[in-house]
Structure 1
Amino acid sequence: MKDSLKKYLFEDRSLRVQTVNLSQTWQDTLEHQQYHPVLRNLLGELSAAAVLLASNIKFDGSLVLQLQGDGPIALIVVECNQALQVRATIKTRQEFVIKDTDNLQSLLNANHNGRFIVVLDPNNRQEGQQAYQGIVPLTGETVADVLSLYMRSSEQLDTRLYLAANEHKATGLLLQRLPHGGGKEVDSAIAESSWERAVHLTNTIKADEQLAIDEDTLIHRLFWEENLIPYEPQAVSWYCNCSRERVADMLKMLGIAEVESILAEQNEIKVHCDFCGKPYTFDAIDSAKLFIAGASSQESQHTH
């Protein structure tokens, strides 16, 4: 089954519920990477959060969630575009040892220099136009804590996030209160009652439960007494724009002398995508071909 994001409205239209399942997407994310379980799960939770938040933005571009820290993690980046295509990566500092007990704060904010940045990057950015950036305080022990606070303070939307990840799956549930008006007027007392009831129900969610059952089952367990209005599911997938051609262009920019120097030392050139970790290998013949089309006769002779 393809990964999907599903949306529901409470019958009184006062709040939305969303779930996302990243199973195949998550396997594609991890295909070329080896992460400590603590790092892997943190990246999975952030990936699920990015999809949940990006799906509510009417925007031609990408939502980027970026964590910068001064501890074991130097950088985490998750990007999700309007087609709900995701890519994600972590850069760590080798001098640190990751412990099973580490969490968001110890990994990124031990010296209180950590930063969480939310970026909206338009596809067709005009000259001089800057991407929107919002700085999120690293308050809370989890990604869900930090982002819920951000949504409340910057977007003025009461939001609850429930995120979980392991080696098989990354998943998330979002509960969000909708502003009154803008269509059907919502009775404030009814809306308040719906919100309190929904929060009470979703606060019973445990991460192990999210990972053990499918999202449809979770929604039924939580809201079987509610009349939810379902929306058409949206597909979610992995996407990284790295390619052999892009790596070849990079090697051409290095120049024939540098490429031959690497070959002389290592017999082949191995390049890993900075983002997804996918490996690309160029042997002597592959490397020679890079320079044949635009090479001078002297260079052609030099590369046989």
Structure 2
Amino acid sequence: MPVDVMHRFQLGDTGIHGVFVQMESSWAAMRAHVDYPEPVAGLLGTTVAAAALFTGLVKFEGKLSIQLRGTGDLRLLFAEATHAGTVRGIARWEGGPPRSLADAGDDAQLAITIENAQRQTRQQGLVAVDGEHLAAALEQYFERSEQLPTRIVLAAGGGRCAGLLLQRAPAEGGHAASGDADAWNRAGHLLSTLRDEELLGLSVETVLTRLFHEEGVRLQAGRALEFACSCSAERVAGVLRSLGEEESRAAAGPEGVVEVTCEFCGHAYRFDAVDVAAMFAGDGVMSGSGTRQ
């Protein structure tokens, strides 16, 4: 069974649904061109797993991102997942490798953004980061912004990242979504027994059977996940245009070439003097740009 996969599931008739995510090759591809220290890789891996989990909660065509910005040693965590199953992510830090969200500083903020390409809409929710763990911050986001009780477990290590999410359906007409009033508490207790090594190393069937076999798990077909980057010569040229011609030319190296490397995939785009001139003359983008280094 493929390791890079996202599954949706339901727990019988309890009104509880969930999402399971596990990544290996896509996670390795994200780290292939950046030597992340192990603590930073762990923080980024859990963020990527969370973004992929959230795509299992909403029906949309577009992309969903989780972004944390801080002023401490941890400056940025960014993870993006699309409805098509592609994922990417980056992390930035300064000083010693940060080990938790607390290293982002007291003013750190977490943003969850959904960009719906079909409807041309953009929705964003913000939550303050007042703890060490991403899962707890995201649970608070759902509780405060969506009024949806949610439990999240995230893990990264051993070349994999993974996540499991449970969410209780909203009550209808003042009545609980299930006749089993204790179902949510019971599911949360069972989820708390899940160990990181189980989430990372066992199949979705094994994990869900071990946790919820008495609840009647209904597992949906999985969606494959893979690393992919949306960078292009045209997008990079757009960034250079926004800087202006003078600043773009000033960024050229000794050979008169502007080189921009994508932080997500390591692809290097090269623009010579002719390219830059054409860019600002409105003659289109550059023949020969975007060679990989």
Structure 2-normalised TM-score?
0.81
| Corresponding position of 2:284 | none
Higher relative contact order (CA 8 A, sep 6+): 1
Distance verdict in 2 for CA 1:248–1:118, change over 3 Å: closer
Give the counterpart letter for 1:82 in structure 2. H
Alignment of 1:67-216 (within 5 A): 67-93=68-94, 96-98=95-97, 102-105=99-102, 107-109=103-105, 112-123=106-117, 131-166=122-157, 168-181=159-172, 186-188=177-179, 190=180, 192-216=181-205
The Cα shift of 1:231 comes to: 1.4
Give the counterpart letter for 2:109 in structure 1. R
Residue deviations 1:171-203, cap 9 Å, x none? Answer: 001111112349x98444x1x222122111110
Identical counterparts, % of pairs: 29
| Corresponding position of 2:289 | none
Structure 1-normalised TM-score?
0.78
Give the counterpart letter for 2:104 in structure 1. L
The Cα shift of 1:15 comes to: 0.3
Distance verdict in 2 for CA 1:261–1:206, change over 3 Å: closer
Give the Cα–Cα distance (whole angstroms) in 2 for the partners of residues 21 and 210 of structure 1. Answer: 8
Give the counterpart letter for 1:98 in structure 2. P
> Any gaps of 5 or more consecutive residues in structure 1?
297-304
* SS of match in other structure, 2:153: strand
Residue deviations 1:186-233, cap 9 Å, x none? Answer: 444x1x222122111110112233223233221122123331112121
The Cα shift of 1:293 comes to: 8.5
* SS of match in other structure, 2:182: helix
Distance verdict in 2 for CA 1:291–1:180, change over 3 Å: closer
Distance verdict in 2 for CA 1:256–1:147, change over 3 Å: closer
Residue deviations 1:225-262, cap 9 Å, x none? Answer: 33111212122222211135655777799879977994
Give the counterpart letter for 2:100 in structure 1. N
Give the Cα–Cα distance (whole angstroms) in 2 for the partners of residues 224 and 125 of structure 1. Answer: 39
Greater fraction of residues in helix: 1
Give the Cα–Cα distance (whole angstroms) in 2 for the partners of residues 166 and 2 of structure 1. Answer: 14
Give the Cα–Cα distance (whole angstroms) in 2 for the partners of residues 141 and 256 of structure 1. Answer: 43
> Any gaps of 5 or more consecutive residues in structure 2?
282-293
Give the Cα–Cα distance (whole angstroms) in 1 for the partners of residues 235 and 248 of structure 2. Answer: 17
| Corresponding position of 1:302 | none
Distance verdict in 2 for CA 1:203–1:108, change over 3 Å: same
The question of 1:224 aligning with 2:225 is answered no
Superposed CA RMSD in Å reads 3.3
Size of the alignment, in residue pairs? 278
The Cα shift of 1:142 comes to: 0.6
* SS of match in other structure, 1:19: strand
Residue deviations 1:42-97, cap 9 Å, x none? Answer: 1110111111112211233322211010101222221222223222112223xx22
The question of 1:242 aligning with 2:231 is answered yes
**Contact 1:158–1:177 (8 Å) recurs in 2:** yes
The Cα shift of 1:29 comes to: 1.2
| Corresponding position of 2:288 | none
Give the counterpart letter for 2:160 in structure 1. K
The question of 1:280 aligning with 2:285 is answered no
Give the Cα–Cα distance (whole angstroms) in 1 for the partners of residues 118 and 111 of structure 2. Answer: 21
Give the Cα–Cα distance (whole angstroms) in 2 for the partners of residues 255 and 154 of structure 1. Answer: 43
Give the Cα–Cα distance (whole angstroms) in 1 for the partners of residues 247 and 169 of structure 2. Answer: 60
Give the Cα–Cα distance (whole angstroms) in 2 for the partners of residues 250 and 293 of structure 1. Answer: 15
Q: Name the larger-Rg structure.
A: 1
Give the Cα–Cα distance (whole angstroms) in 2 for the partners of residues 247 and 186 of structure 1. Answer: 48
Distance verdict in 2 for CA 1:122–1:193, change over 3 Å: same
Give the counterpart letter for 1:142 in structure 2. H
The Cα shift of 1:146 comes to: 0.4
Give the counterpart letter for 2:214 in structure 1. E
Give the Cα–Cα distance (whole angstroms) in 1 for the partners of residues 176 and 227 of structure 2. Answer: 38
Give the Cα–Cα distance (whole angstroms) in 2 for the partners of residues 288 and 245 of structure 1. Answer: 16
